[in-house]
Amino acid sequence: MSVAVRFAPSPTGLLHVGNIRLALVNWLFARKEGGSFLLRMDDTDEERSRPEYAEGIERDLRWLGLHWDRFERESDRYPRYDEATEALKAAGRLYPCYETPEELNLKRASLVSQGRPPIYDRAALRLTDADRARLEREGRKPHWRFKLEHSPVDWTDLVRGPVHFEGTALSDPVLIREDGRPLYTLTSVVDDADFAITHVIRGEDHVANTAVQIQIFEAMGAAVPAFAHLPLLTDAGGQGLSKRLGSLSIASLREEEGIEPMALASLLAKLGTSDAIEPRLTLDELVAEFDMGKIARGTPKFDPEELARLNARILHLLPFDRVRNDLAALGLEGADEAFWEAVRPNLSRLSEARDWWAVTHAPVAPLVEDPDFAARAAALLPAEPWDLSTWGAWTGAVKAETGRKGKDLFLPLRRALTGRDHGPELKNLLPLLGRERALKRLAGETA
């Protein structure tokens, strides 16, 4: 049996770090097991689903490198859900209910005030044919609940270990709305069965759904997949990350924070596991290191600062061929490997390469406080061609000639050559500047 997993977002908002972590874990598991990864849009909530959110989800997954082997959209499958619904009705597992939302709220409130769990009382099961006919004549339309077996539900969760629910502790779930539309609890099971999903990997907010859904798989005569429920990410203060937290959306991390895909993947693959978080340059490395058994039960904390630090470490390691196109997209078409090697250690986000491009390839107003010293240094500048040894040879000569050393030697040269106090190593920058520009800047000219 080959492994098949799915990531099943509802296109009702932007993906954030919490959602995409689940996509990543599913994808890593599929690749590790040589299985397949399905992207399923759970878009049956027609009021809240939007095509632009679905497009955004696809864009975010592609950006992270999580390509899918198969794509399905729940809104294409209504006829199949109708068929499954009819089969469950025929098997006596769906029953019509007529309570209004207000009536249900009252029932729940009354149970809660008595200190009892708000479990549906199955009043609708006691309706006679005559009662139902009367309610329908009054204009009421039924919603349909799944009749749970009042027996224990057990599974061995790949993250949580043995999980046990009593059927009596669960409410019969509504599977079909009053307007005839099927709800997630049903559609997800029909899809998981039809697409032969072997492992359902999702957030621990779905644990109680799983107990119910296992019974639905069984009622449909379908194989029950394995389950893994991951603890949800929280912020540094232990608060849940809501989907509406725009700043943690993947779009904003990418477009506003300048986060590299492998920085996010390196962090999210390891957060909440027994592995150390280290920069990784390819998803293949994360696949090789992935093991569901390493995922701990404690709540992982997502820290944007940690992501920013990892982003810098990733940039410092990325070879030129991995950033060539992105540099061109920033407008740095002429950027070459020497430029990249020179500036890479100073970047915390790729777009900062533009600042250093401006220093090496655009006019800069130099800072020259001691023109005599600058002129003596300029006179010692070697002839081109220049390479990585030029800086050492030149400053050695300047030191011998002027007696300056350390900061007194290097800082005035840096200020004259770059107009700044800090920056990439001058050994790397000097050949990028070239002799002509260096001479002008040492002479105090904007060049």
Q: Are 187 and 195 in contact (CB under 8 A)?
A: no
CB nearer to ligand GLU: pick between 60 and 99: 60
Question: First CA to last CA across the chain, in angstroms?
Answer: 67
Q: How far is the CB of 7 from ligand GLU (least distance, A)?
A: 7
Q: How far is the CB of 53 from ligand GLU (least distance, A)?
A: 12
- SS3 category, 118: coil
What DSSP state is assigned to residue 443?
Answer: T
Contact between 142 and ligand GLU (CB under 6 A)?
no
Contact between 8 and ligand GLU (CB under 6 A)?
yes
Of the candidates 206, 254, 420, 435, which one interacts with ligand GLU according to CB under 6 A?
206
CB nearer to ligand GLU: pick between 10 and 266: 10
Q: Are 200 and 228 in contact (CB under 8 A)?
A: yes
Q: Are 22 and 68 in contact (CB under 8 A)?
A: no
CB nearer to ligand GLU: pick between 51 and 345: 51
* Residue 233, number of CB atoms within 10 A of its CB: 22
Q: Which region among 3-11, 62-70, 337-345, 410-418 touches ligand GLU (by CB under 6 A)?
A: 3-11
CB nearer to ligand GLU: pick between 42 and 60: 42
CB nearer to ligand GLU: pick between 191 and 260: 191
Q: What number of chain residues touch ligand GLU (CB under 6 A)?
A: 8
CB nearer to ligand GLU: pick between 19 and 266: 19
Name residues contacting ligand GLU, limited to 145-184 (CB under 6 A).
184
* Token pair listed for 106: 């009252």
Contact between 10 and ligand GLU (CB under 6 A)?
yes
* Token pair listed for 212: 């119910």
Angle between helices 261-270 and 51-64 (to 10 degrees): 90
- SS3 category, 384: coil
Identity of the amino acid at 317: L
Contact between 16 and ligand GLU (CB under 6 A)?
no
Q: How many residues does the chain have?
A: 447
Q: Which region among 4-12, 233-241, 332-340, 424-432 touches ligand GLU (by CB under 6 A)?
A: 4-12
CB nearer to ligand GLU: pick between 24 and 323: 24
What DSSP state is assigned to residue 398?
Answer: H
Rounded-to-10 torsion of CA 351, 357, 358, 359: 120
Of the candidates 16, 93, 199, 202, which one interacts with ligand GLU according to CB under 6 A?
202
Contacts of 60 (CB under 8 A, 6+ apart): 14, 15, 20, 250, 251, 254
Q: Which region among 2-10, 54-62, 159-167, 237-245 touches ligand GLU (by CB under 6 A)?
A: 2-10
Q: Which region among 6-14, 241-249, 259-267, 439-447 touches ligand GLU (by CB under 6 A)?
A: 6-14
* Token pair listed for 257: 């924070």
Please list the alpha-helical segments (H only) found in 138-198: 184-194
Closest residue by beta carbon to ligand GLU? 42
Contact between 9 and ligand GLU (CB under 6 A)?
yes
Q: How far is the CB of 21 from ligand GLU (least distance, A)?
A: 13
Contact between 230 and ligand GLU (CB under 6 A)?
no
Q: Are 296 and 228 in contact (CB under 8 A)?
A: no
Q: How far is the CB of 9 from ligand GLU (least distance, A)?
A: 5
Contacts of 313 (CB under 8 A, 6+ apart): 263, 279
Contact between 25 and ligand GLU (CB under 6 A)?
no
Q: How far is the CB of 268 from ligand GLU (least distance, A)?
A: 17
* Residue 206, number of CB atoms within 10 A of its CB: 16
What DSSP state is assigned to residue 327?
Answer: H
CB nearer to ligand GLU: pick between 45 and 121: 45
CB nearer to ligand GLU: pick between 231 and 444: 231
Identity of the amino acid at 383: A
Residue 331's φ and ψ, nearest 5 degrees, are 95, 5
Name residues contacting ligand GLU, limited to 246-285 (CB under 6 A).
none
Name residues contacting ligand GLU, limited to 41-70 (CB under 6 A).
42
Q: Which residues of 99-114 are buried (b: 16+ CB within 10 A; e: fewer)?
A: beeeeeeebeeeeeee
CB nearer to ligand GLU: pick between 49 and 395: 49
Identity of the amino acid at 281: L
Residues near ligand GLU (CB under 6 A): 8-10, 42, 184, 188, 202, 206
